[in-house]
Amino acid sequence: MPLLPRTIAATALLAVIATAQADLPSAGASFAMRLQNSANSTNRGSGDLLFWGLFNPEAPPSQAGATVWSFAAQCPLGVSCAASVSGAGWVRQRILARDFSTQPLQYYGARAYDPNLTGAWNIWLSTDSSFASGTRTIVAAPPVGAVAAMPFVQSMSLQSAGLTPTVSWTLPASATSIDQVQVRVFDNSHQIPSISMTPSSPGSTQQSDVIYTQTVASGQSLTLPAGLLQYGTSYSLAISLDHLRPDHSVQSRSQSFFDYTPIDPASLVGAPTNIALPTLSPVANVVGAEQGPVYQFHVDSVSADAVTFIDPAVASGFDYRTGIGDPNFKSVQIASQVGDGLYEVYLWDGSAWTLAQAGLAAGAGFDFVAAGHAGGVDRFQIRGIEPSAELSAFDPTAFVTGLTFTGTGSFTGTMQAIVAVPEPATLALWLAGFGLLGLTRRKALRS
């Protein structure tokens, strides 16, 4: 039977609609979570965040290769918003794009956690920078909802040094269930651009590349595979604790970042087999300052009988301090041989630093109790790394230190690099390089 004119018209209309729909941008899966990031040197925001986005946005076939612009919008809980997202009430957020080695192209947005913005973010995609009607696709990310923030892991450490260390951690007690643990490795020497895809808010930044991701089904340790790490390269290790939705997507996550540069075991005196790693809180250097990055530790079960090895960046020396409620330091032993391998121990007398011992050799120890401090000390400094060693406070090469404590408990203290002020010409280059890289720790430029 021949088609009636009305049927022909309807069929033509459906074809036009199908063509129009096929001519719009598309995307893969969307995501949204509450994200807690520790301090880190990968150039990711730290603190309590809302994080959302989608994977693999693509231009329509008719515009293959075209730029897909994007922004996100949400009407906060309890607010009456205008019909248009450009009207009153709406919260708009720019979207950035990044393409890491181990994951698909990702469009994402982030902002400080706000309980009024835990609904669904609408992510707009268009090859038209004005997002004109008929050119856009709108993808709704899943709502985060009233989910609790995930806590960080504790007592992060490496069993053995070298290129295939075993990463271990202690899970915290948590009211929010830990449904999944993931380990990620970031290559801090390989930076990937993160570029704004929102025309009204241009800009870009650099972030450390993700080179390895592994889900840990059970247990609290993982041995990194051969061929992943290289000597002389700076990495950050991140342990993620995930709370999942019923569909197994991540609803709440914490990421505990720890910096690590592989250490050749042959270079260490005393062959430590368990090295605790810190998180990083960098502080800016200024002319005349003697401050470097501050490293925060959380190590459970320290004692007077077991040596706890810690590995921060290196400089001309280091300032060690216990945290609130920690047992005092009983002794220190230096495992790394830097420069001539001879160091100085300084103690705080209440008003100034005083020399307690000169010529402390790598592998030797200094006992604070035996030196007359019956209760141990809550702070001390190691100095004496020669400027000729040319070691930067922002280059996480190895300086492994062994500590014992006057009692049992936890070590939540810090270790801060003491930075020798270089010659004026070198200082200008150093500060210029540091300023360009923000808070990312890089090797100082030297004349």
What confidence tier does 287 reach under pLDDT thresholds 50, 70, 90?
A: very low
- Dihedral Cα 383, 387, 390, 395, nearest 10 deg: 30
pLDDT at 318: 80
Counting beta carbons within 10 angstroms of the beta carbon of residue 217, is it exposed (0 to 12), middle (13 to 18) or buried (19 or more)? exposed
What confidence tier does 57 reach under pLDDT thresholds 50, 70, 90?
A: very high
Dump pLDDT digits (tens) for 133-144.
Answer: 999 999 999 999
pLDDT of residue 280 exceeding 60, the answer is: no
Dump pLDDT digits (tens) for 295-324.
Answer: 566 666 666 665 555 444 445 778 888 988
More confidently predicted of 384 and 424:
384
pLDDT at 28: 95
What confidence tier does 11 reach under pLDDT thresholds 50, 70, 90?
A: very low
Task: Give mean pLDDT, residues 141-168.
Answer: 84
- Of 380, 363, 283, nearest to 329 by C-alpha is 380
Kind of pairing between the strands at 274-276 and 365-367: unpaired
pLDDT at 153: 84
Provide the b/e sequence for 69-84 (b: ≥16 CB within 10 Å): bbbbbbbeeeeeeeee
pLDDT at 358: 94
Contacts of 275 (CB under 8 A, 6+ apart): 157, 158, 161, 263, 309, 310, 311, 400
User: How far out from the chain centre does Cα 385 lie?
Assistant: 28
Counting beta carbons within 10 angstroms of the beta carbon of residue 88, is it exposed (0 to 12), middle (13 to 18) or buried (19 or more)? exposed
8 Å CB contact between 395 and 282: no
The structure's pTM equals 0.68
What confidence tier does 391 reach under pLDDT thresholds 50, 70, 90?
A: low
| CA-to-CA dists, residue 310 to 101, 209, 273, 297, angstroms | 30, 25, 11, 8
Task: Give mean pLDDT, residues 277-297.
Answer: 46
8 Å CB contact between 382 and 318: yes
State which amino acid sits at residue 87.
G
The enclosing H or E element of 20 equals helix 5-22
The pLDDT mean for the chain works out to 79
Dump pLDDT digits (tens) for 74-130.
Answer: 999 999 999 999 899 999 999 999 999 988 899 999 999 999 999 999 999 999 999
Phi then psi for residue 13, to 5 deg, are -65, -45
